[in-house]
Chains A and B, each alone.
Chain A
Amino acid sequence: MPHDHDHPHSLLPPDPALRVKALETILTEKGLVDPATLDEIIDTYQNRIGPKNGAGVVARMWHDPAFRDAMLSDPMPMLRELDLYGRQGEHMVFVENTDAVHNVVVCTLCSCYPWPLLGIPPGWYKSDAYRARIVREPRAVLAEFGVDIPKGKKVRVWDSTAEMRYLVVPQRPEGTDGWGQDALAELVTRDSMIGTGLAMVPTP
């Protein structure tokens, strides 16, 4: 049941850094948390899991049509095989940008995000402004990211209201014919996989 009248959190220190410290200290002293565990979690998402994972998958989808088709129909078997399964990425759906459709992802109710492929979300993704506005005025928000969508092109906003996690497959830039997968992956930015950016265009 909701407990709208008890707010123990107000007993914590005013400085947010000290609030975290206080909770960590209490839980450590109680034997419920090991600071080494926290270090390990932080290291995982700072150094091992991030947008490079997603970029590799997108580049392979651009490069390998059979892989692309498999990822668009059901990505989970392949993601498991590639060790890209995990927390907050248990149920992935890949949505592809085309000449007719531009996709963009949000979670208006909290900040759901495909961790195994993109890591932890950036500040703006978690901001009230993004959560409030991208569903109502996606074109204006995209313009703030420097992305202008032509009038006739559909903008499709995916609000992650369940445990499905969406990853945008940006359009492959012109001038990349014959490129290898690793070189292609360098063009795939984090924002292009959320939909607030496009893949980078190679400099001639």
Chain B
Amino acid sequence: MSRVHDMGGRYGDGPVNPEDGAIYAEDWHARALALTLAAGALGQWNIDTSRHARETLPPKDYSRFTYYEKWMAALANLLVERDMITLDELQNGHARGQAPSDLVDRALRAEVVAGVLASGSAYDRLATPPDFAIGDRVRTRKRAHNATVPGGHTRLPSYAAGAVGEVVLRHGAFVLPDTNAHGQGEAPEPLYAVSFSACDLWGDEGSATDEVILDLWQSYLEPA
């Protein structure tokens, strides 16, 4: 039921290597990041679509790919899925011709890069007032899954599914990734920071003093 990216709490990964501190281990990593941002600026998908494209890589590829290889694979898949490039072009490594002019007109120009990056893209929306108050006890969905699209995108990690926590922050209403990733609209909902005791998540392995806080949308939660 889960996907390979949903790895919080997983065993077997070994130690973290703090020496691996470079932002790009290879020159092409920087190029991959820039290419992803430039392609995203064409406006043919949103951040949730893009995340979902990485999550739906075959588990074998997701696990063996380094970070930016995942980005490149997901980008290639999205470009083909949106008919922006063809399989033939992908195989040949060259274009068979220019893209339609309306799309070419949207290409990000070097002189506007700084402004575009600085203007960001806000995800908060005006929407219904929140159902839950700070201090309320809430229970997350029993399974970490998209409620309407089988295998679809969601931001409830498996390790926090079916758990009871406490609302600690109310962030306002935000675009719902579960719909936005699938072209079903932004469907904004109240978003909360919910705190879970480490013992409730991990049993005896958790320290009684510690907690994990996740940002969760209202439809992921019910009163507990």
Contacts and interface: CB of A to CB of B under 8 A. Distances in A.
Interface of A: 1-4, 6-13, 16-17, 19-27, 29-34, 36-42, 44-46, 48-49, 83, 85-91, 93, 106, 108-111, 116, 119-124, 126-139, 141, 144-146, 151-164, 190-191, 196
Given A16-B68, A30-B99, A34-B108, A9 B23 contact: no
B90 A8 contact: yes
B138 to A, nearest CB: 14
* Residue picked from B79, B98, B210, most chain A C-beta under 10 Å: B210
Contact of B69 (A19, A122, A153): A19
A131 B174 CA distance: 24
Contacts of A111: 67
A132 B34 contact: no
B214 interface: yes
B7 interface: yes
A154 B93 CA distance: 53
Size bin of chain B's contact surface: 35 or more
A75 to B, nearest CB: 13
A116 B116 CA distance: 13
B20 A159 contact: no
Contacts of A48: 114
B110 interface: yes
B191 to A, nearest CB: 6
20 contacts: A7-B57, A7-B58, A8-B87, A19-B76, A20-B72, A24-B35, A27-B79, A31-B99, A34-B38, A37-B109, A45-B23, A109-B6, A119-B23, A127-B16, A129-B16, A156-B210, A158-B213, A162-B216, A163-B47, A164-B191
A52 to B, nearest CB: 13
A6 B177 CA distance: 22
Interface string B121-161: 11110000000000000000000000001111001110110
Contacts of B42: 32
Nearest to B182: A1
Contact of B151 (A4, A40, A87, A91): A4
Contacts of B7: 108, 128, 131-132
A101 B216 CA distance: 22
Nearest to B10: A132
Given A44-B117, A85-B120, A86-B118, A159 B68 contact: no
A136 to B, nearest CB: 4
Nearest to A49: B117
